[in-house]
Structure 1
Amino acid sequence: MAKYYDVHPDNPQRRTLGKVADGLRAGALIAYPTDSCFAFGCQLGERDGINRIRSIRDLDDRHHFTLVCQDFAQLGQFVQIDNDVFRAIKAATPGSYTFILPATKEVPRRLLHPKKKTVGVRIPDHNTAQALLDELGEPLVSSTLLLPDEEEPLTQGWEIKERLEHVLDIVVDSGDCGTEPTTVVDFSGAEPEIVRRGAGDPDRFG
């Protein structure tokens, strides 16, 4: 049965998020809020957590997982960015965007797109997500909390616990959460490609 933590949206309780971070280090799979919508999250090297997300969402090996990072310094450890792309991404973060970029050797192979060797990265504009990342001290491996055969992500913490408590370990709810997935921009080719139109304005990359 999943533990449920109610966190204040403006002043997230550090002690509570410390417990969540400890759970992640012990292998927990969590659901947590972001500026776009709820997401699944697990620790970077947690093979079981990644497999559990694939199973819950019925994902194939071409799915791009996202490394949710606290800031640009952290993001830069995991992806290769040239100067033009750096400026474009810097201007749009933090925000409701996921960027697909060539991965560095810091990224576990199981997270990479099998052919492109790319990974998704983002920096959320959300107090609770940022506070959790600060407690954890490293990126969260994440994927939108969108279930198979459903068109929209789950957006209520209580409903997530009710429906998924048998497959999750922790639900973090701060009430204040977006309802639309991120806009996904692929920067791995010669020109930026909008892979998914979502919460972030895609026209700035058009």
Structure 2
Amino acid sequence: MTTVLKIDPKHPQQELILQAAEVLRGGGLVAFPTETVYGLGAIATDAKATARIFEAKERPATSPLIVHVASIAQAARFAARWPDEARALADAFWPGPLSIVLGKSPIVPAAVSGGGETVAMRAPAHPVAVALIEALGEGIAAPSANRSSRLPPVRAEHVLKGLDGRIDLVLDAGACPGGLESTVLDLSGAKPRVLRRGAISLARIASLVEVEDASRPASEDSSGWIRMAPVGEFEFTEVRSGAILVRERALAEGVAVRVLGEDARAYASRMYDALHELEDAGCEVVWIEQLPAGSDWDAIRDRLRR
């Protein structure tokens, strides 16, 4: 069984942080909250421990991990060089949900870089994550704390749904406030490229640097568990149970309806929580009200289509 420690999300108890840090120092895996989703962490320079992350998640070995740090100085240890662009972006968006990709330094294990020559780094803003990194004195390599291809976890219960018995410890600080993964920005090439859309919009990044959207196109298929359409095109005739996610109002009888809010930030913070709830309830299909145009909604639309 995985140990679960309930911890204060705003004022984490030092004794619990130290207990989690000791698990990490012993080569263990600890799930912890960030401002986006729960991460599954190991010491970033520990090759054996980081390899365990892939086993626990059943994650492809070529899929790199993000190193979570407490400062630019700590991040710079993992990069071969720290250019002015990286400093400007980190100054603007750290701590926060921007992962910066640079050429890796020799201390980065192959597992963390997915066998490649680059490393992704970010400074989380959640008090529990910050306290854990500072107590450890090391960067923490951490993807989302879920089985690969499953819904990202925004609560400790979501972590345990897929990883109970596979990891050592969960720091349970309740729901993550953001609910949308970090934006991944590659600065290792000639021009900055967004590799994954996330909580920091392209428009905000473009206000500081010229940037190219190189994120993998999301599927337009509407036959999976999650389907997106205008409200009038929802169709439940072929399923026994279904659900609707809408922005502002309840629209149907006989199906589960979750109202997530008209504001993109509020919608993102509730999105994965609602999807987990509907998955646990056995809903066969989830129809999502077509989202508004605009950069604030682009990452949400992208994540829902994956």
Q: Fold conserved (TM > 0.5)?
A: yes
Mind listing any 5+ residue stretches in structure 1 that lack a counterpart? none
Question: Matches of 2:8 and 2:169 in 1, distance apart?
Answer: 16
Which residue of 1 is the match for residue 184 of structure 2? 184
Closer, same or farther in 2 for the Cα pair 1:66/1:92, shift >3 Å? same
Question: Matches of 2:10 and 2:68 in 1, distance apart?
Answer: 20
Which residue of 2 is the match for residue 173 of structure 1? 172
Amino acid paired to 1:144: S
Amino acid paired to 1:9: P
Question: Matches of 2:144 and 2:21 in 1, distance apart?
Answer: 19
Closer, same or farther in 2 for the Cα pair 1:146/1:198, shift >3 Å? farther
Q: Residue 4 of structure 1 contacts residue 161 of structure 1 at CA under 8 Å; is this kept in 2?
A: no
Closer, same or farther in 2 for the Cα pair 1:56/1:23, shift >3 Å? closer
Question: Matches of 1:23 and 1:136 in 2, distance apart?
Answer: 10
Q: 1:75-108 CA distances to partner (integer Å, 9 max, x unpaired)?
A: 1111122123321232111111111111112222
The within-5 A match list for 1:18-167 is 18-79=18-79, 80-115=81-116, 117-150=117-150, 152-167=151-166
1:61 deviates by 3.4
Q: Residue 32 of structure 2 contacts residue 170 of structure 2 at CA under 8 Å; is this kept in 1?
A: yes
Amino acid paired to 1:190: A
CA RMSD of aligned residues (A): 1.7
Question: Matches of 1:203 and 1:146 in 2, distance apart?
Answer: 29
**Higher relative contact order at CA 8 Å, sep ≥6: structure 1 or structure 2?**
1
1:159 deviates by 3.5
Q: Residue 147 of structure 2 contacts residue 162 of structure 2 at CA under 8 Å; is this kept in 1?
A: no
Question: Matches of 2:189 and 2:10 in 1, distance apart?
Answer: 38
Question: Matches of 1:205 and 1:159 in 2, distance apart?
Answer: 31
Question: Matches of 2:37 and 2:159 in 1, distance apart?
Answer: 12
Closer, same or farther in 2 for the Cα pair 1:113/1:162, shift >3 Å? closer
Number of aligned residues = 204
Q: Residue 38 of structure 1 contacts residue 155 of structure 1 at CA under 8 Å; is this kept in 2?
A: yes
Amino acid paired to 1:170: L
Question: Matches of 1:165 and 1:176 in 2, distance apart?
Answer: 18
> Alignment partner of 1:134: what SS?
helix
Q: Residue 182 of structure 2 contacts residue 199 of structure 2 at CA under 8 Å; is this kept in 1?
A: yes
Q: Percent identity between the aligned chains?
A: 27
Q: TM-score, normalised by structure 2?
A: 0.63
Which residue of 2 is the match for residue 11 of structure 1? 11
Question: Matches of 1:195 and 1:54 in 2, distance apart?
Answer: 21
Amino acid paired to 2:109: P
Question: Matches of 2:38 and 2:28 in 1, distance apart?
Answer: 16
Question: Which protein has the larger Cα radius of gyration, Structure 1 or Structure 2?
Answer: 2
1:47 deviates by 3.0
Question: Matches of 1:167 and 1:57 in 2, distance apart?
Answer: 8
Bigger mean CA deviation after superposition, 99-108 or 25-34: 99-108
Closer, same or farther in 2 for the Cα pair 1:131/1:90, shift >3 Å? same
Bigger mean CA deviation after superposition, 56-65 or 175-184: 56-65
Amino acid paired to 1:85: A
1:42 deviates by 0.7
